[in-house]
């Protein structure tokens, strides 16, 4: 099967979140099964700054955006044996960040990503590469299914191409003022309740959901949640209209990248069969972060964006109690100023058991996974969550709220129907979180039970091998709607 992934970020070329990890890992698993997989993404400045090997291609595309002709030039790199095509336009993508700065999103994001989507389709024709499946990810690529359903519905080149659209986080929808319709070269006829219109604005996520053959999201539980008024971010009604075409598939972890037995960024390698190295990593992390050294001090780790939906309002409320508790907390993250200030204030007030590093340090993250006893994710919503899956791989026991992919992967000792591998709370309150942290601290004192939790998590299989075949089944469903069956859909 010929499969094209289109994403606005792909690990290791450019990353702001879990989307990049998925767009980098799932294609490798599909390629290992013998499929012809390729990737398209923008050519950002960060790709050059990262020293990735990129060569110039011979192809270019001319598309009209904001009434003017704009050129996209094709560059090429590789992810193992997977071709990665990067679309270059200095006006749109030669910037410090992918989507915006600390002061807000780039004001021309609608223009930037409509240009990108149009270039993808033009360049496919110039390359004479006809995908069986185009797999689009999040609002930045949502105009591809829209263009194929409306503008190019009679284009024979794409007549047998199935379109999959994946929602990684429904909260980010790509909403823009209606006057951007003309800027993006979209027909005014599409600005209606059955199209792009959403409470008087353009909503790109909405048109991706409505225009694709099939829609996926990143866990089974999140798939159910987003069809409810509470968690549907205003699009629950739209999603319910497509419930028969909507599937939740839990993201996997790239176990080649995340493996405590081979990780070069941690002090001492270890495995579920031999855990002694983890104590070395714990002491190393404590010293690195300026904490008191001691193998028996419970150490809670976090690697997260510091935003409300990640549970930081609860954590901020609990900081005074955490600062006095018999534990240590290590956080790597950045985000909302109020939460960063709360941690800085806690340190300034003399909290010696809390360590905080801003930004995203690719070398520090695995050290936290390896050195922590517990991993905290008290999210209000969490579409999938990779942190808890990586933490389990490193023997760090998750403490999470029961939502989205966290509910699909972490099970509490109080749950009589599932074998426990972590600690879970349901009510989104600081009290419920504090009670669950204390239950985990009490369980930590029983070393026999704790090692069982650690080894259970480390031996769990949350690799892409479990999810890839579900995607292949969906690809075949999409192709069957285009009249493609048999060998052509294998």
- The DSSP annotation for 358-414 comes to -S--TTHHHHHHHH-SEEEE--S--SS-SHHHHHHHTTPEEEEES-HHHHHH---TT
Question: What integer pLDDT is reported at residue 486 of this predicted model?
Answer: 65
Please state, in angstroms and rounded to a whole number, the distance separating the CA atoms of residues 114 and 120. Answer: 10
SS3 247: strand
Q: Which helix (H) or strand (E) holds 119?
A: helix 109-127
- Of the candidates 351, 371, 456, the one whose C-alpha atom is nearest the C-alpha of residue 410 is 456
In contact, 40 and 61? CB cutoff 8 Å: no
Compute CA distances 407 → 98, 307, 347, 385, whole Å.
31, 20, 32, 10
Domains with residue ranges and CATH for the chain: 2-252+465-489 (3.40.50.2000), 276-459 (3.40.50.2000)
Question: What integer pLDDT is reported at residue 416 of this predicted model?
Answer: 86
Question: What integer pLDDT is reported at residue 366 of this predicted model?
Answer: 96
**97-123: b or e for each residue (b if 16 or more CB lie within 10 Å)?**
ebbeeeeeeeebbbbbbbbbbbbbbbb
- Of the candidates 118, 135, 155, 137, the one whose C-alpha atom is nearest the C-alpha of residue 3 is 135
pTM of the model: 0.92
Q: What is the pLDDT of residues 435-480, one digit of tens each?
A: 999 999 999 999 999 999 999 999 999 999 989 999 999 999 999 9
Q: Across-strand partners of 421?
A: none
Please state, in angstroms and rounded to a whole number, the distance separating the CA atoms of residues 308 and 386. Answer: 18
Q: What is the pLDDT of residues 167-186, one digit of tens each?
A: 999 999 999 999 999 888 89
Q: Which residues contact 55 (CB under 8 A, 6 or more apart)?
A: 75, 76, 77
Question: What integer pLDDT is reported at residue 488 of this predicted model?
Answer: 64
Question: What integer pLDDT is reported at residue 50 of this predicted model?
Answer: 77
Residues of the chain with pLDDT under 50: none
In contact, 231 and 225? CB cutoff 8 Å: yes
- What angle is formed at CA 408 by the lines to CA 403 and CA 414, rounded to 5 degrees? 80
């Amino acid at each position: 099967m010929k499969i094209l992934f289109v994403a606005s970020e792909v690990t290791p070329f450019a990353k702001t979140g879990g989307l990049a990890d998925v767009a980098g890992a799932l294609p490798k698993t599909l390629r290992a099964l013998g499929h012809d997989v390729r990737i398209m993404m923008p050519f950002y400045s960060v790709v050059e700054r990262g020293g990735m090997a990129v060569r110039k291609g011979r192809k270019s595309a001319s598309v009209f955006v904001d009434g003017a002709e704009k050129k996209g030039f094709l560059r090429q790199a590789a992810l193992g044996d997977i071709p990665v095509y990067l679309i270059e336009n200095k006006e749109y993508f030669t910037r410090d960040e992918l989507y915006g700065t600390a002061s807000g999103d780039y004001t021309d994001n609608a223009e930037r990503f409509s240009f990108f989507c149009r270039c993808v389709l033009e360049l496919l024709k110039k390359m004479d590469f006809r995908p069986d499946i185009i797999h689009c990810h999040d609002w930045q690529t949502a105009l591809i299914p829209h263009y194929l359903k409306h503008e190019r519905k009679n284009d024979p080149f794409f007549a047998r191409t199935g379109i999959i659209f994946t929602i990684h986080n429904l909260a980010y929808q790509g909403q823009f003022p209606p006057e951007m319709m003309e800027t993006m070269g979209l027909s005014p006829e599409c600005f209606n309740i059955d199209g792009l219109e959403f409470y008087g604005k353009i909503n790109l996520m909405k048109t991706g959901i409505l225009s694709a053959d099939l829609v996926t999201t990143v866990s089974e539980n999140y798939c159910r949640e987003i069809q409810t008024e509470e968690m549907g971010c205003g699009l629950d009604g739209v999603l319910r209209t497509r419930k028969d075409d909507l599937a939740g598939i839990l993201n996997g972890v790239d176990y080649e990248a995340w493996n405590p037995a081979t990780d070069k960024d941690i002090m001492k390698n270890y495995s579920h069969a031999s855990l002694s190295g983890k104590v070395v990593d714990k002491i190393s992390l404590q010293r690195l972060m300026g904490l008191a050294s001691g193998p028996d001090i419970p150490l809670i780790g976090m690697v997260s964006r510091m935003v409300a939906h990640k549970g930081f309002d609860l954590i901020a409320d609990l900081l005074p109690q955490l600062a006095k508790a018999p534990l240590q907390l290590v956080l790597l993250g950045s985000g909302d100023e109020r939460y960063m200030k709360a941690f800085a204030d806690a340190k300034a007030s003399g909290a010696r058991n809390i360590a905080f590093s801003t930004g995203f340090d690719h070398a520090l993250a695995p050290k936290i996974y390896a050195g922590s006893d517990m991993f905290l994710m008290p999210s209000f919503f969490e579409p999938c969550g990779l942190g808890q899956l990586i933490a389990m791989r490193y023997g760090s026991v998750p403490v999470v709220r029961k939502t989205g992919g966290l509910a699909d992967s972490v099970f509490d000792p109080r749950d009589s129907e599932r074998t426990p591998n972590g600690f879970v709370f349901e009510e989104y309150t600081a009290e419920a979180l504090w009670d669950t942290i204390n239950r985990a601290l009490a369980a930590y004192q029983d070393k026999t039970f704790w090692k069982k939790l650690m080894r259970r998590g480390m031996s769990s299989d949350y690799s892409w091998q479990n999810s890839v075949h579900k995607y292949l089944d969906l690809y075949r469903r999409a192709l069957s709607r285009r009249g493609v069956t048999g060998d052509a859909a294998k």
